[in-house]
Amino acid sequence: MAKAVFAGYPTAFVYRDPIEDPAAKIGHLLWGTWIEHQEVEQGDWAKVRIRGWDVNRQQKIGWMKKSDLTDGRILEVYFVDVAQGDGCLVITPDDKFHLIDAGEGWNMAAYIRWKFNLRHAANPITFENVIISHPDTDHYKGFREIATEPKINIKNVWHNGLVERKGGPLLGPKSGGFLTDIIQDESDLDVIINDPQKVGQKYYPNLMKAFRAKVQSIKMLCADDQFVPGYDANSDVKFHVLGPVPTPDAAGKRRLKSFGGDGLTKNGHSIVLKLEYDQVKILLGGDLNIPAENHLLEHYTGIDPKTPSAAQQAALINAARLVFEVDAAKACHHGSADFSNLFLQSVNSAATVISSGDEEPHAHPRPDAVGAFGKFGRGNRPLIFSTELARSTRDLILGSAGPSIAEHGRTVAVYGMINLRTDGKKIVIAQKLEQKATRGEWDYYCLEPGATGVLEYVSKHD
C-alpha cells in the first residue's frame, strides 16, 4: 500500500529509471513536497508517484533516493504572484491552511483551484483562517471567488476593524484624531452590511456580506489579541499579532489613530503578523507606512522614533528587535518608498520578499526601497525576492477562447510565486525557473544557522 512521504532538504530529483536511464530526470522537488511512496524499493532507491502527468497524460511514476525522502512535514509559506497586491498561503506542519490576503484579480482563486485540484476534488477543503490585512482592493478583492466557492469552507475571517461604508465618512466617524466606529465582531459588522444605504455597490462591505453568509466567525484582529486564536504561546506554530495597535478611550472602547487620509490610515493599521516556528520567524506586515511604523516602534519600545539622538535611536533599534526582528519578511506595501529606516533596521531580516505587479502606475518596488532592503538586511548577502521578477510572461495567457484560468493559475502563480519552506531550524526560499536548467527546475537559496546560531544566507560565492 502506498504511503505519503516528503522531499528532503533542500531539493530532490525524481528519475525515470536510475539503473537503465540514469540521466532521465522527470522531476525536481522542493523540500517538503508531497510524494506517494509506492512501497517498492531496490537497494538505495524507492519507487514513487509525484504530482502531475507525463507527456502521455499518465501519472508521473519514477524513482528517488531513499535518503531524499522524509516522513516529517514542514511549514510552507507561498507568496503567490497576485500581480499588484499581496496574497499568501500558509500551510502549517499539521496540514492546516491559512490565507492572508488574496490580491485584486483572479490569480489567488486560480492558484487555489490548481493547488488543491478543486475541479476534481470530491470534498471541500477548509481554511482555518482567512485574514484580510486591511481594506485595500489589491489585498481583499481577490477573495470574491473564494468567498463564494462551494468547495471551500472557512472557519474564521479576521480583519483590522476598519470596514468601509457608503455615505458619510468612508471609515466611519472620527473624533480627536481617532477613528471611533471600530468593527470588532459580527454584531458590529451586521449594522453595516444589513443596511443597503451603507453597502451600496462598494466592494468591501459586499465582500463582508458574502463572507457573513458563509462564515460564522468574522472578527477584528489586533495587538490586544496577542496571537491568532489557536496559534498562541503554547502552539508549535505561533501567529503573533503585532498590529494594529488600538488606543482605548476613557471608557476603554477601542479607537484607531488617524494617520492622515483614509488611504494612509487603513494601510497603516494593517494586521501585522509574526509567524514563529521553533527558531524561525517570518514577518507579514501588510501595507505599513512611516507614520504607522513610528506608531508601532514607539508603542513597543516607549522611545520616540523621531528623536534626533543617535544613542536613543540605537536603544530603540535594540529594543524593537526583541519584537520585530525576523529571518524573512514580506516587504511592506509592495516595496513602496514610504518606509522607515529605523523600522527596517529593527526587522533586520536575512531575506525580503516583495509582492508587486506588472503594468501598474506605482512603479513598485521603488529603487530606494530595494536598496534599503539590501542595506539594512542581515548578513553579507541579504536576499531580495520579487514576485514580479520571478515571472517574465504576461499576467494573462490568451487562447482562442480568451484567458485560460487553468493556464493562468499555473503560469502566474507557479512561476511568479516565491516559496518558503522551514523545519524551524533552517529555511529554503525558492522560485520556479521558467526554463529548465541543467541544475534543475528550482532557483533556491538556503538560510542556515551561522557561528552565533542566527540564520544567514549560505552562498557558494562567499
Residue 141 and residue 42 share a domain: no
Residue 390 and residue 328 share a domain: yes
Residue 196 makes CB contacts below 8 A (sequence gap 6+) with none
Residue 264 and residue 128 share a domain: yes
Return d(Cα 16, Cα 30) in angstroms, integer.
18
pLDDT at 393: 60
Take residue 281 and report the three cell numbers written for it.
Answer: 520567524
Tell whether 91 is covered by a domain: yes
Total number of domains constituting the chain? 2
Kindly indicate the confidence band of residue 358, based on its pLDDT and cuts at 50, 70 and 90.
low
Mean pLDDT for 347-351 is 97
Q: Considering the chain, what is the average pLDDT of its residues?
A: 90
Take residue 355 and report the three cell numbers written for it.
Answer: 509582492
Tell whether 87 is covered by a domain: yes
Residue 232 and residue 134 share a domain: yes
Residue 390 has pLDDT above 70, yes or no: no
Q: Which of 164-178, 248-262, 424-438 has the lowest mean pLDDT?
A: 424-438
How far, rounded to the nearest angstrom, does the alpha carbon of residue 61 sit from its chain's CA centroid? Answer: 32
pLDDT at 433: 87
Residue 352 and residue 207 share a domain: yes
**In degrees, to the nearest 5, what angle opens at C-alpha 447 toward C-alphas 35 and 420?**
45
pLDDT at 363: 63
Q: Three-state DSSP class for 260?
A: coil
Residue 307 and residue 188 share a domain: yes
pLDDT at 145: 92
Tell whether 228 is covered by a domain: yes
Residue numbers of the domain that contains 351:
75-457
Tell whether 462 is covered by a domain: no
* Residue percentage of the chain with pLDDT more than 70: 91
**Which DSSP symbol is given to 195?**
-
pLDDT at 406: 45
Q: Which of 51-55, 102-106, 121-125, 339-343 has the lowest mean pLDDT?
A: 51-55
Give me the residue label for grid cell 499579532.
Answer: 241
Of 19, 52, 70, the residue at which a domain comes to its end is: 70
Mean pLDDT for 152-158 is 98
Residue 109 has pLDDT above 50, yes or no: yes
Residue 32 makes CB contacts below 8 A (sequence gap 6+) with 6, 7, 73, 74, 76, 421
pLDDT at 99: 98
Mean pLDDT for 315-335 is 93
Q: For the domain that residue 446 is a member of, what is the CATH number? A: 3.60.15.10
Mean pLDDT for 415-441 is 90
pTM of the model: 0.93
Residue 361 has pLDDT above 70, yes or no: no
Residue 409 makes CB contacts below 8 A (sequence gap 6+) with 107, 110, 111, 113, 114
Take residue 223 and report the three cell numbers written for it.
Answer: 495587538
